């Protein structure tokens, strides 16, 4: 349980996924935290939290033998233990978002011209969680095609991730089914580069 909480805290600590691509682009070879920060130029604390999340998701590895912390992109498949810990952390976050969704008494503003701020806050969290799950799926698909992981293991893990994504997105979709609300939610996810057809909204 302690390890699950560690994974959960790491993944929960970083909402923004915007700098993931920048980090992965600069970590083809070993690179120190300071050098990585110089190349990316973003807030250092946020970058470090993003690196921790990418580590938990199996996208990065570190070299603990060095006096400084170095990062490098990791193409190897996660062990079953690490993947299980990751899914447990995802599911803990999902429980939080499902609870937050259930607490929304109203999705739309009183004037009916947009989503309430509380709803937007929840959707932001949901959006980031789904993005992270899709990143893990993308890596598994790459590993499967590159024979870095067996098709059976990759397909089984992708199936679990699909179920995870479908559960939270169905909860969002079922919150309110009137046309105005559905359109507002669709607009939000379109603006945040979500492929709505995948999530059946």
Please state, in angstroms and rounded to a whole number, the distance separating the CA atoms of residues 195 and 201: 10
With 80 as the cut, is the pLDDT of residue 194 above it? no
Average pLDDT over residues 10-24: 61
DSSP letter, residue 66: S
Please state, in angstroms and rounded to a whole number, the distance separating the CA atoms of residues 123 and 199: 14
Fold of 80-199: Topoisomerase I; Chain A, domain 4 (1.10.132)
**Could you tell me the CA-to-CA distances from 138 to 31, 47, 57, 72, 134 in Å, in that order?**
24, 22, 12, 18, 6
Which residue ranges make up each domain of the chain?
13-73, 80-199
Average pLDDT over residues 19-25: 82
Please state, in angstroms and rounded to a whole number, the distance separating the CA atoms of residues 81 and 86: 9
With 60 as the cut, is the pLDDT of residue 8 above it? no
* Tens digits of residue pLDDT in 135-191: 888 889 888 888 888 999 999 999 999 999 999 888 888 776 778 888 888 888 877
Specify the CATH architecture of the domain 13-73. Orthogonal Bundle (1.10)
Please state, in angstroms and rounded to a whole number, the distance separating the CA atoms of residues 119 and 8: 23
């Amino acid at each position: 349980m302690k390890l699950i909480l560690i994974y959960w805290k790491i993944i929960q600590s970083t909402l923004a996924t915007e700098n993931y691509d920048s980090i992965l682009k600069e970590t083809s070879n070993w690179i120190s935290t300071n050098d990585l920060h110089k190349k990316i130029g973003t807030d250092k604390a946020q970058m470090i939290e993003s690196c921790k999340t990418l580590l938990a998701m199996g996208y990065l590895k570190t070299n603990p033998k060095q006096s400084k912390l170095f990062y490098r992109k990791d193409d190897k498949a996660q062990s079953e233990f690490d993947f299980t810990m990751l899914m447990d952390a995802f599911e803990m976050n999902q429980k939080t978002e499902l609870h937050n969704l259930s607490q929304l008494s109203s999705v739309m503003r009183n004037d009916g011209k947009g989503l309430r701020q509380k709803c937007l806050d929840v959707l932001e969290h949901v959006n980031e969680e789904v993005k992270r799950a899709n990143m893990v799926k993308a890596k598994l698909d790459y590993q499967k095609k590159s024979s870095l992981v067996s098709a059976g293991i990759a397909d089984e893990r992708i199936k679990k991730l699909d179920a995870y994504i479908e559960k939270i997105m169905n909860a969002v979709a079922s919150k309110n089914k009137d046309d105005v609300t559905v359109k507002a939610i669709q607009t939000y996810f379109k603006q945040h580069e979500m492929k709505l057809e995948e999530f059946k909204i």
